[in-house]
Structure 1
Amino acid sequence: MALKPCVRQLGGVAQVWRCVSRSIAHQTYRITAGNTCHDINDAQKAAGPTSARLPRLRHTIPESYEKVEVSTAEWSYVERLLPLKSIPKPTGNPGEVMPSGWVVPSAKPGDYPYFVPRSANHMLPVYLLHKPILSKHVTSVKHVQGDIFALSEELREHLTQLLPSRKIINMRVHEPHQMIQIKGQFVTELKEFLLKKGF
């Protein structure tokens, strides 16, 4: 390895390191290129398989399967921990308020020109979308069935009464998606309106 000529010619620490690394790589390439396929195969055979060089772990079970007893008496405790395959239906009476604050729906299709069913989790389909880049909030009422325009007009009147200082309420009715979008945060107000209707 010609280290001194490198120091004389280059002089920098980084450049000296490059020169040394190149010399080492060149010598390694020469050694590797000098080996043949037979030499490499012989070296692999001498080393042996990887599993032979690793320590073998052995696990023994002290008890035998003959002493295991199958019992179904405690299976009821195991069922409590298993997740439910489907969401259970509410057992309360229509319009009843549960201790958690959840209200059982009482409205049925045909009571109004429109109908707003609950979601799969038996919750009102009122959602809030926040767009942080535009600093914008959009409240949506989804899964509206029937006359969606009649519901939008009633929602507009309801919000106008609650917010008399707000003259314009930006609202969008998306009939193909059965959705009403309102600019602003009105999740609580819309849920109270739908609960009064019995949805």
Structure 2
Amino acid sequence: MATVLRSQCAFARVFVGKTGRILNNSTDLGTKITQETQSVTFYPRKYSNYAHSPFVHKIKEQYEFEVVKKPPEWTYVERLLPFENIPQLKPKDKYPSGFVPQKEESINLPYFLPRNKYHDVPIYLQLSHRGQRKISEIRKIEGDIWLLNDEVKALLKTKHQKYIETRVHELTRTIEVKGDYVNDLKEWAYSKGL
């Protein structure tokens, strides 16, 4: 680094004050340097960023404002904000979206699927390998997970007339079913009252 710096300084000393024609490979070392032949080049100072340059002054803008506890326009904003808590379900005979609430008879079953905070059944589809591998997953199973596995296998085998591969994870309380059977499993869970 020091060698490079010294060579740059030596180069600068040779060409300091020379005219532009010297730098254009028309060197004439016998030329006498006079005040008229000297050219001075000013390089601008480099600042760390534009805000720190002397050309920018901090402009202080002051706005007149008034603090209001709850303005009348706030009601229009509140309508657009998401709910802090998911509201409790209002019991109806039939919901227009096709939603089926959890029934109380499901407590008597040897297994249980608790709903999530959006009141959905915890049955999901996992896609992997660019969508080529599809696995239906039942999560948050409470109770006899092996009995639930046997019932799911029997249900899908009778409906699709083929062998269904499943994998039971007792520690994570999940059952994985090879294939896309989410709709069938959700219909079965709704019919059981889960």
State the TM bucket, normalised to the shorter chain: 0.5 to 0.7
- The answer to whether the 8 A contact 1:139-1:186 is kept is yes
Residue 136 of structure 1: which of 117, 133, 143 is its match? 133
Distance 2:76 2:131 in 1: 51
Distance 1:27 1:124, change over 3 A: same
Residue equivalent to 1:21? none
Say whether residues 1:172 and 2:171 are aligned partners.
no
Which range moves more in the overlay, 143-152 or 83-92? 83-92
Residue equivalent to 1:79? 78
Secondary structure of 1:53's aligned partner? coil
Aligned residue type for 1:130: L
Residue 180 of structure 2: which of 151, 173, 185 is its match? 185
Residue equivalent to 2:9? 31
- The answer to whether the 8 A contact 1:128-1:138 is kept is yes
Which range moves more in the overlay, 74-83 or 118-127? 74-83
Secondary structure of 1:194's aligned partner? helix
How many percent of aligned residue pairs carry the same amino acid? 29
Distance 2:107 2:187 in 1: 21
Q: CA deviation at 1:151?
A: 1.2
Aligned residue type for 1:160: K
Aligned residue type for 2:142: Q
Secondary structure of 1:90's aligned partner? coil
Q: Which has the higher helix share?
A: 1
Distance 2:11 2:90 in 1: 80
Distance 1:192 1:82 in 2: 33
Q: CA deviation at 1:184?
A: 1.0
| Structure 1 gap ranges (5+) | 1-25, 36-45
Distance 1:114 1:32 in 2: 87
Secondary structure of 1:78's aligned partner? helix
- The answer to whether the 8 A contact 2:106-2:193 is kept is no
- The answer to whether the 8 A contact 1:97-1:104 is kept is no
Residue equivalent to 2:109? 112
Query: After superposition, where does 1:60-79 map in structure 2 within 5 Å?
Result: 60-61=61-62, 64-65=64-65, 68=66, 70=68, 72-79=71-78
Q: CA deviation at 1:170?
A: 0.9
CA RMSD, Structure 1 to Structure 2 (Å) = 3.4
Listed one character per residue, the Cα deviations across residues 93-141 of structure 1 (whole Å, up to 9, x for unaligned) are: 4xx4422222222145532111111112211111112221693221110
Q: CA deviation at 1:54?
A: 2.0
Distance 1:32 1:156, change over 3 A: farther
Residue equivalent to 1:7? none
TM superposition score normalised by structure 2:
0.66
Say whether residues 1:151 and 2:172 are aligned partners.
no
Residue equivalent to 2:59? 58
